[in-house]
Amino acid sequence: MPQISLEYTSNVAAERPLGGLMADLHRILSERGGVPLEACKSRARRVDEFVVGGGEAAPGFVHLAVEIFPKTDAWKAEVGSLLLEALTAAFPGRGDAAVTVHIADVIEPSAYFRDPPMQKAPEPPRERVARAFAIKAETGSNQEWLDLCADDIQWKIHGSGALCRLYTSKADFRDNCLAVLGKRLDGPIRARVEQIIAEGDTVAVLWKGQGRTTWGESYDNDYCWLFHFEGGVARRADAYIDTALLDRTMSHPV
């Protein structure tokens, strides 16, 4: 899925081989629509007998039908316009023949059967990070975002204050940063996410932490974390925080 069908009347001709055109349509669906490239399947058919309107001399038509799982209106508007643009460019000498695109997103996943079974597309890093931080916002748990990290992750807290250094593994960061700070906190830090930005395999999270020290002061720090994904896991991370607040907290006796 998706299934893509192109029909064009015999009185219009494509300027380029249709195989190349269909490959371009696949790339649009994959790169701009998030559809797995290997899931796209296309076929083209020339229509020799056709009628437009009342049957008089007709200019013909070019029509692309895309059958796909349900999508949002915004997705259809963006992807549909890009498909139409590519299709129009491929038939420059069509005259008055209409070029149309129809995205039929009415196929229910539960009613679609395939052999061999279709592989589920990997979830983008941004969505995985967003889900982990949604849990941290609700419960304060660190486990969900730690699960995104490789065991040998290189985690760097930038700055020159307490706990600011390069941690060379997940265990190093958990035991010598999270646990050390945690001894001075009365419970977990909940997250209030302000923005998540993704570019390729890098995901940046701008968030505010809400916590309290064991001696009753608030520990509401500001954070910007950058996760660098490779092979499905975060292999590097850069953390920028309010180091002055961290220093004050770390200088207090446990």
pLDDT in tens, 124-153: 899 899 999 999 999 999 999 999 999 999
The boundaries of the domain holding residue 9 are 3-111
Do 31 and 82 contact (CB within 8 A), yes or no? no
Q: Which amino acid is at 9?
A: T
Give me 178's structure tokens.
């999270």
Separation of alpha carbons 208 and 241, rounded Å: 10
Q: Which amino acid is at 30?
A: S
Mean confidence (pLDDT) of the chain? 93
Instruction: Collect the ranges in the chain with pLDDT lower than 50.
Output: none
Total tally of structural domains belonging to the chain: 2
- At which of 60, 85, 111 does a domain end? 111
- At which of 82, 111, 140 does a domain end? 111
Separation of alpha carbons 216 and 213, rounded Å: 5
Same domain? For 38 and 94 the reply is yes
Same domain? For 132 and 183 the reply is yes
Give me 253's structure tokens.
């006796």
Same domain? For 162 and 233 the reply is yes
The whole-number pLDDT of residue 118 equals: 64
SS3 of residue 49 by DSSP? coil
